[in-house]
Structure 1
Amino acid sequence: MGTKRDWEGQPLDLNPKDTVMAEAELEPARPILSIFENFRDELDEHHDRRERIIKKSRDITALSKKIIFALQRVRATNQPLPPKIAQENQTRFDQIHALFEEVVPEQLGINGWRYQRQISGGIQEFIEALSFDHYLRTQTLITHAECSARVPPQIHVSEEDYLMGLYDLTGEMMRFAVLSLSSGNATATQSMDNTASEWEKSTVASSQGGIVGDLRAIRAGFEALSVPQRHYMFRDMAKKLDVMQNSVEKVERAAYGIVVRGSERPSGWTPDLSAAVEVGSY
């Protein structure tokens, strides 16, 4: 039993009876302190788990960006990727899958929804990389089921994350199209008469379709979406819709410039996409 001290730290001269009474007064407070200690431990565990998931999400995002950067070196669609790029990206995809496996124990039971926002950013970036890889190899749009099959079953790929990843895909398709146009690749301008009805088919584009037609079909599909304003991702989707529309407008403007006045362009000319584009709804 420790010695009782006053506020200055000096020992108190208490007789045994006073000591017993003082300890008895503290007895009712001990269960309450124990409850708050449990709350503290639960909050510490929650914040530690949350930070671990955020770290894994950032690692997944970084690897996905490296995959996208490597894919931007490709110059053709609807054919196998160059062996070196395919091998590099497969290694990164394996690393991403391992990171998702490490997240699984953190998201068991109710935690699967509690920490969905923390892993959501990594899932969206992964879908962007995966869909871009799929598009360059097949010139088709990857499905939600195919995306879900590329992660552990315990990782939930929501429809919202899938759509947000596809919104970002249009930006990578725009960059790829501009590089193709500047290098004289006709892939980006083939089948300029594609219409929005292609969205209703099982694929976004056929082997004869071009990137411009694919982007126009994707734009038409996204503009047809109706998202309630009370939806928690409504604001993010509205912002990404503006960026997506701007990307499609840039590619259309560059492609039309080449088709209409292509013979007047000097060798090595690159489309000027620095000017602002007025975006409208269709």
Structure 2
Amino acid sequence: MGYKRSRDEAMVEVKTEQPASPYIPMFEGFRKELDEHHDRREKIIKASRDITASSKKMQVASIKHRVRSLGQPVPQFVNKNNTQYWETIDKQYKSIAADVQGLNAYRYERNITGGNQEFMESLTFQHYLETQTLISYDESKSRIAAMSGEGGPVLLSPEDFILGVFDLIGELMRFSITSMAMNGKLPAGKPKKYKNEKKDAEDEQAGDKMDVDEEAPAASETQQPRIVLSDLREIRLRLEMFEPPPGSKFADEVEKKMRVMRECVDKVEKALYSLTVRGKERPKGWMPEATEGRRAEVESY
């Protein structure tokens, strides 16, 4: 027994005297880096979800609060209601700005893409309501960079911008259908006045005009306002000309959104056709009731 006890004690002493492996500190460093990576990734995913949720709420608020006109500032009460959502988006971009700089901008690109796309949909939608134009990629990138704060600009990839424009078509479809159901017409911008380019030349040759020219009516100086369907068709045409790199994940997403985009434009066309053709069958001054089929049919889109 004494021999066995002394042998065990000797083995314990040998074990305690063995030097630590030189690889242990290296693997501990790897573990620390992986823990930081997972924590950073979860932080970015949460921020992306919050940006997505706030962006959706801004879009709903713009339609719910009956923004029905184009080419003019959004009503003050709508901006006031959306202030809380803008603050949330601004806060979330600032919170992750330092974590997505350098190579990390591409490392976590798939984790922030959902928030970027939804924010682009909201930003382009509000910009369209106010100006009846499509916001540019450079301006969109600058807006996110300004919201990123001192941590550095959060990357907005061209892919996220384009996919956000695809989503904009769906939002414009809902905006158009709701406006037709509520107001009985498709939203349009304001008439624009333009200057006749030949006016100056005609003034110079006024002495050479014949009497028949003087009696001719002046050309109209008012340009007919563009309706939202014309803009939808124009955007559809531009997007159909776009060719993403074949075989990429981006190409698969474009293919899916392209199909949905075409369906959205078709719905607006059919709704306007129904409103125009069937609307003539209604008596003058007729307004749809909230429970009538036409409104239900239109709002079902």
Report the TM-score, using the length of structure 1 for normalisation: 0.80
Q: CA deviation at 1:95?
A: 2.5
Is it true that 1:52 corresponds to 2:46 in the alignment? no
Q: Counterparts in 2 of 1:24-173, with a 5 A limit?
A: 26-27=18-19, 30-72=21-63, 73=65, 74-152=67-145, 154-173=153-172
Residue 55 and residue 249 in structure 1: after superposition, are their counterparts in 2 closer, same or farther (change >3 A)?
same
Q: In 1, Cα distance between the equivalents of 2:82 and 2:180?
A: 25
Q: CA deviation at 1:82?
A: 1.4
Query: Counting helix residues as a fraction of each chain, which structure ranks higher?
Result: 2
Q: CA deviation at 1:35?
A: 2.2
Give the one of 254, 271, 292 matched to 1:237: 254
| Larger relative contact order, structure 1 or 2 (CA cutoff 8 Å, min sep 6) | 2
Residue 226 and residue 118 in structure 1: after superposition, are their counterparts in 2 closer, same or farther (change >3 A)?
same
Report the TM-score, using the length of structure 2 for normalisation: 0.75
Residue 175 and residue 12 in structure 1: after superposition, are their counterparts in 2 closer, same or farther (change >3 A)?
farther
Aligned to 2:200: none
Is it true that 1:270 corresponds to 2:295 in the alignment? yes
Q: In 2, Cα distance between the equivalents of 1:238 and 1:12?
A: 75
More moved, 148-157 vs 215-224: 148-157
Q: In 2, Cα distance between the equivalents of 1:207 and 1:141?
A: 19
Residue 155 and residue 176 in structure 1: after superposition, are their counterparts in 2 closer, same or farther (change >3 A)?
same
Larger radius of gyration: 2
Residue 39 and residue 207 in structure 1: after superposition, are their counterparts in 2 closer, same or farther (change >3 A)?
farther
Q: Spell out, residue by residue over 1:90-135, the C-alpha distance to the aligned partner (whole angstroms, 9 max, x if none).
A: 3422331221011111112321211111111101111111111111
Aligned to 2:179: 180
Find the residue that maps to 1:270 and give its secondary structure: helix
Count of matched residue pairs: 250
Contact 1:104–1:154, Cα closer than 8 Å, also in 2? yes
Q: In 2, Cα distance between the equivalents of 1:141 and 1:188?
A: 16
Q: Spell out, residue by residue over 1:119-165, the C-alpha distance to the aligned partner (whole angstroms, 9 max, x if none).
A: 11101111111111111111111111111121125111111000111
Find the residue that maps to 1:233 and give its secondary structure: helix
Aligned to 2:197: none
Residue 12 and residue 163 in structure 1: after superposition, are their counterparts in 2 closer, same or farther (change >3 A)?
farther
Q: In 2, Cα distance between the equivalents of 1:95 and 1:19?
A: 59
Q: In 1, Cα distance between the equivalents of 2:188 and 2:98?
A: 47
Unmatched runs of 5 consecutive residues or more in structure 1: 1-10, 191-205, 277-282
Aligned to 2:234: 217
Aligned-residue Cα RMSD (Å) equals 2.6
Q: CA deviation at 1:49?
A: 0.6
Q: In 2, Cα distance between the equivalents of 1:181 and 1:154?
A: 40
Give the residue type in structure 2 aligned to 1:21: V
Q: In 2, Cα distance between the equivalents of 1:179 and 1:140?
A: 20
Q: In 1, Cα distance between the equivalents of 2:47 and 2:81?
A: 20
Contact 1:189–1:255, Cα closer than 8 Å, also in 2? no
